[in-house]
Amino acid sequence: MSSPNLIPFERAAKGLRKPVMDFTKPSPLVTFTIGKAGQEEVFSIHKRQIEIHAPVVAMVLLQDSLQLRLCDVEVQVFGMMAHWFYAQEVSLAVLDRNKKSKKLLATHLLPLAKLYNLANVFVMPALQNAVMDSLVPMLDKTNVATISEFAMRVYLDGKAAGTPMRALAIYYAAQSFTPEVLAAIQETAPRDLLFDMSMAYIRHNDLVHNSNLYHLTDPTKFYLKVDGVALDMFNDEEDEHGFERFDEYEEIQELGYDEDGEKETAADTIQTSDHGSERQFGEDFEIARVKNSKVSTKFLGYMEGDDGEEITVWME
């Protein structure tokens, strides 16, 4: 039996409140048989952990059985996922930065890309974002040849289609590829790769290759939105105003008007976390100055206006 495609069931997890992790109560073990026939490995994971971190899998596939067979998943890749169920961290061999290993693609980049795709099938966006956090620093410091091979492999893997993993591959390829590299791969590269690179060059002037330009990439550029279901693995927190903390990017839409009755346009995204706040400004979305009444139901955060006055942002 091949790996089930859970993507159509993503909506099934919407609105579910995940149970609090509690090892004081018994939980049955789910048996995962991983790998090709004759090379299988067996993993046993508490059902409670799967309900917390992969609620779609628990709801759709584990109602009548506690055994799953995934013959087209690599043992190493599922092992990293199994580790995530308990530790919420991506476990991979520590990369020796002092050695420019030619094995980086095989030992780190491709396993992480495969873990990302498996997490996509299991509808685990928090794990997908953690994979991005691991991948981006490696790609920032690797060479053009490795990036070229990585991008090719990502595009040849149909499971990555339509995911931020392809956007990541294009981002680095467009920055790194010289005209010589493009000429060398144009006959063998997937058509989708060449097309997406062309579109990247058209849309973003900052992606034009420049070997003297170096900067570290922010992995949140490639984050998926984590639903409230997936965020339940963390403790719910309220800020000093009694509102639930905002933990992911969300669009701010139609939030209100200023004192003159005109729409405010100042921010398109706000992100707050334990590590501080990040704000991006633009004119695509609308916010409202909130005086004595609340204009919508979800508190997003605060920002400072041009006149220094504090602006409170809500979301309908």
- The CATH number for 194's domain is 3.30.710.10
Say yes or no to pLDDT of 283 above 80.
no
Contact yes or no for 125/230 (Cβ under 8 A): yes
Q: What percent of the chain has pLDDT over 70?
A: 57
Helices of type H across the chain = 47-53, 55-61, 75-87, 104, 110-121, 125-140, 144-156, 164-176, 179-185, 191-203, 228-231
State whether 180 and 294 are in the same domain. Answer: no
Q: Which residue has the higher pLDDT, 101 or 136?
A: 136
Asked whether residue 229 is assigned to any structural domain, the reply reads no
Please tell me the total count of domains within the chain. 2
Residue among 169, 73, 186 at smallest CA distance from 122 = 73
Instruction: Kindly state the tokens that stand for 236.
Output: 């719910």
Domain boundary among 222, 254, 287: 222
pTM, to two decimals: 0.62
Domain boundary among 222, 246, 277: 222
| CA dist., res. 140 & res. 127, Å (int) | 20
Asked whether residue 107 is assigned to any structural domain, the reply reads yes
Residue among 220, 247, 223, 251 at smallest CA distance from 233 = 247
State whether 252 and 127 are in the same domain. Answer: no
Asked whether residue 56 is assigned to any structural domain, the reply reads yes
State whether 87 and 206 are in the same domain. Answer: yes
Alpha-carbon torsion (46, 51, 57, 63), positive or negative: positive
The residue range of the domain holding 180 is 7-222
Say yes or no to pLDDT of 29 above 60.
yes
- Tell me the residue length of the chain: 316
Say yes or no to pLDDT of 246 above 90.
no
Contact yes or no for 113/90 (Cβ under 8 A): no
State whether 217 and 266 are in the same domain. Answer: no
| CA dist., res. 161 & res. 147, Å (int) | 18
Residue with token string 């704000």: 279
Domain boundary among 222, 251, 269: 222
Give φ, ψ of 41 to 5 degrees.
-130, 150
Asked whether residue 230 is assigned to any structural domain, the reply reads no
Average pLDDT, the chain: 70
State whether 131 and 98 are in the same domain. Answer: yes
